[in-house]
Amino acid sequence: MSIQTRRERERAERGRLIITAARELAEAEGWDAVTTRRLATEIEYSQPVLYSHFKGKDAIMAAVAVEGFADLAARLRAARTKAQDPGQALTDVAAAYAEFAEQRPHCTRRCSSGP
């Protein structure tokens, strides 16, 4: 493995860590608790490290939203493909959406209102 490959992998891992910390903080305490200072403390890196990955809090929140929508899409797809007929698919997709919204209220509230 080259040094460049290792650095790229570490950078991707840090970016992932930032997104995960932001999501967990928002889910636990709400979006107002998500600040770059708080995220830096949570992930044990300096604020400039966050800014080397994202342009600011809005960009971090947008990345969390994209991740949330990807998770929601996977859940809806799984519900649709498990159903035996179109009527059941509709019911299962609606139930999966409601379950997602209940489990991740801060994500769905923020995702629907935009970053």
Write the pLDDT tens digit of every residue in 8-18: 999 999 999 99
CB 39 within 8 A of CB 60: yes
Count Cβ neighbours within 10 Å for each residue of 76-90 and write b for 16 or more, e otherwise. Answer: beebeeeeeeeeebe
Taken in order of first residue, the domains within the chain and their CATH numbers are 3-113 (1.10.357.10)
CB 11 within 8 A of CB 53: yes
* pLDDT at res. 3: 86
Q: What is the pLDDT of residues 26-84, one digit of tens each?
A: 988 888 899 999 999 999 999 999 999 999 999 999 999 899 899 999 999 999 999 99
Cβ of 19: how many Cβ atoms within 10 Å? 19
